[in-house]
Structure 1
Amino acid sequence: MIRRQILRYTANQRTNHWLVAIFFFLAALSGLALFHPALFWLSHLFGGGPWTRILHPFMGVVMFVLFLGLVLQFFRANFFITNDRLWLRRVGPVMRNEEEGVPAIGKYNPGQKLLFWTLLLCMLVLLFSGLVIWRAYFSQYFGITAIRWAMLLHAVAGLILVLSIIVHIYAGIWIKGSVSAMTHGWVSRAWAKKHHELWYREVTRDEHPERPVNRKG
C-alpha cells in the first residue's frame, strides 16, 4: 500500500532539539550535584566537584543558546488561538484519547504551548540568575542579597524545568507517533488530521513537502 506522509520537523530542527536535550541532561545532572550533598556523587560524571562547578554554567549557556534556536523557529506556532480555549474545556476526552468532537488545533495543542512558554520563562530565569551567581565572572558585581535571591530563583526555575521536561517526555511517549516525528521528521496524514487538524489543513493546502512510503499490508 502506498501512503503519503507529511514533514513535521526538518533535519536541522530535529538536530537542534536533540542537542538541547543532551545539554539539558548535562546541565541538570551537574546542577543536582551542586544542589545538595546527597547528590554530590553525580559530580563524578564530570570529573569531580571543581570541574562540575566550572562546567555547569557553560553547559547551561550552551543549552540556552540552542533552545533560543528552537524559540526562533517555533514561537509563532505557539501563540494561543480561540480553539485552544475550547480544546482546554474538552481536555478530559483528550486525556482518554477520545478526540472526536474536540476543536481542531494547529501544529501544537494548548498543553504543548503552555509547556513551550514555561520552558522559555524558566530558561530566562536560569540564565539571568545564573549570571548573578557565576562566581568566576559576574558575582563580584552583585551584593550578597541579590546573590541569595538569584540562588533561590535558580533552584526554583531548575526544579520547574526538570518537572516540565518529565511531563514533556511522558506526553511524547503517550501520544503515539510524537517521538518518531522528532526522530525521522515525518508523520502520517491520519496522525496529523487526528491530533492537529488545523495544521494538517494548512500544510496540505500549501502543498508542503510530502513523500511516498511503501508499506505492505
Structure 2
Amino acid sequence: MARPEPEGRVRRFSTAERMVHRATGYLMLLCLASAACLYFGPLAQLVGRRHLMVTVHEWSGISLPLPSLLGLFSPAFRADLRRLNRFAVYDRQWLRAVRRRRKSPEARPAGKFNAGQKLYAGWIAGAVLVMMFTGLLMWFMGLLPFISRTSAIFVHDVLAWATTFVVLGHMRKALEDPEARLGMRTGYVNRSWAQRYHSRWLREEHVGDLSERRTVE
C-alpha cells in the first residue's frame, strides 16, 4: 500500500530521486572544490597534497553520472527524466514571462518542473558528459591522437567555469525557495505551494489519483 500523505502536503519526490539528487550534488561540489584547489595557486599552497587533489578530482568527475545511472532502476526517476525531456507550450510561456520580468505564478505556468529547471538539467547533463570526455583525453594521453591536449584543456576549463556559475545560480534559486528545499529533503511539499508554482503537475497528480481509485473500485 502507498504511504498516506501528510495533511496539507503532496508527495513530490521519491526516496530514490532524493538520493540521486543528493549524491550528484555532493559529487559535483567535490569535483568543483578539488578543481579549485588545483587551479588557484594560493588555494593549492594552502591545501597542499596536489596528488591527492588530482585523484579526488578525477574520480569524483568520473563518478558523476553513476547516481543517475543507478536511479534508472526507479520508475519515479525515469518518469521525471521523461518530464525533463519534454518541452511543452507552457514552458515557452514561462520563458517569455521571465524575459518580460513577469513574476506572477499565473504568468509562469509549470508542470512538475518549470522551463528553467528543464534547461538547467539539460545543461548539466551535457556539460558533465563533455567534461568527462575531455578529462579522459587529458588523463589518457594518446586516446584520440587527432585531438590535442591543449584543445581538451581549453574546452574542459571553459565548461568548468560555466558549470560553476550555473551551479551557483541553481543553489541561489534553491536558497530563495525553502519549500522547494524541504521537498528535496523530505519528499513532500505544501499543497498550496504546489498549486501556486506547479499547478499543472498538481492537476496531473489529481487525475492520476482518481484513475487509480477507479481502477481499484
TM tier, smaller: 0.7 to 0.9
In the alignment, the residues of structure 2 paired with residue 24 and residue 103 of structure 1 have an alpha-carbon distance, to the nearest angstrom, of: 29
TM-score (norm 2): 0.82
- What's the counterpart of residue 88 of structure 2? 81
Residue 111 of structure 2 aligns to a residue whose secondary structure is coil
Q: 1:37 to 1:142 in 2, by over 3 A?
A: farther
1:105 is matched with which residue: 104, 107, 110? 110
Query: C-alpha separation between the residues in 2 aligned to 1:104 and 1:145?
Result: 44
The CA distance in 2 between the partners of 1:82 and 1:69, in whole Å, is 31
> Cα distance, 1:33 vs. partner?
1.6
Equivalences for 1:1-217 in 2 at 5 Å? Answer: 3-41=7-45, 43-44=47-48, 48-69=49-70, 73=78, 74-78=80-84, 79-91=86-98, 92-94=101-103, 98-99=104-105, 101-134=106-139, 138-143=140-145, 146-207=148-209
* 1:148 CA displacement: 1.0
Separation in structure 2 between the aligned mates of residue 148 and residue 120 of structure 1, nearest angstrom: 24
Could you list the per-position Cα deviations for residues 100-134 of structure 1 after superposition, in whole angstroms to 9, with x for gaps in the alignment? x3253211111111111111111011110011001
1:55-92, CA deviations, whole angstroms, 9 ceiling, x for partnerless residues?
21111111222245568633211121001111222221
Stretches of structure 1 lacking an aligned partner (at least 5 in a row): 209-217
Partners of 1:121 and 1:167 in 2: CA distance: 17
TM-fit CA distance, 1:203: 0.7
Quick check: 2:112–2:200 contact (8 Å CA) kept in 1? Answer: yes
Q: Which amino acid aligns with 2:102?
A: P
Instruction: Give CA-to-partner distance per residue, 1:124-183, whole Å, 9 cap, x none.
Output: 11110011001xxx2133449521111111111111111111111111121231110110
CA contact (8 A) 2:34 2:53 kept: yes
Structure 2 residue runs without a partner (length 5+): 1-5, 211-217
Q: CA deviation at 1:193?
A: 1.0
Contact residue 31 and residue 60 of structure 2 kept, 8 A: yes
Residue aligning to 2:213? none
Per the alignment, do residues 109 and 85 of structure 1 end up closer, same or farther by CA in structure 2, a change over 3 Å counting? same
Write the distance in 1 (CA, Å) between the matches of 2:45 and 2:126: 29
Relative distance call for 1:83 and 1:41 in structure 2 (3 A) is: same
Q: TM-score, normalised by structure 1?
A: 0.82
Root mean square deviation, CA, Å: 2.2
Preserved contact between residue 4 and residue 188 of structure 1 (Cα < 8 Å): yes
Whether the aligned pair in 1 keeps the contact of 2:110 and 2:200 (CA below 8 Å) is yes
The Cα shift of 1:43 comes to 4.2
CA contact under 8 A between 2:93 and 2:109: conserved in structure 1? no
- Please report how far the alpha carbon of residue 22 of structure 1 lies from its aligned counterpart in structure 2 after TM superposition: 1.1
- Per-residue CA deviations over 1:165-217 (Å, capped at 9, x if unaligned) read 11111111212311101100101211111111110001111129xxxxxxxxx
Number of equivalent positions:
197
Measured after TM superposition, the shift of residue 25 of structure 1 is 1.2
Checking the alignment, whether the CA contact within 8 Å between 1:30 and 1:42 is kept in structure 2 is: no
* CA drift at 1:23: 1.1
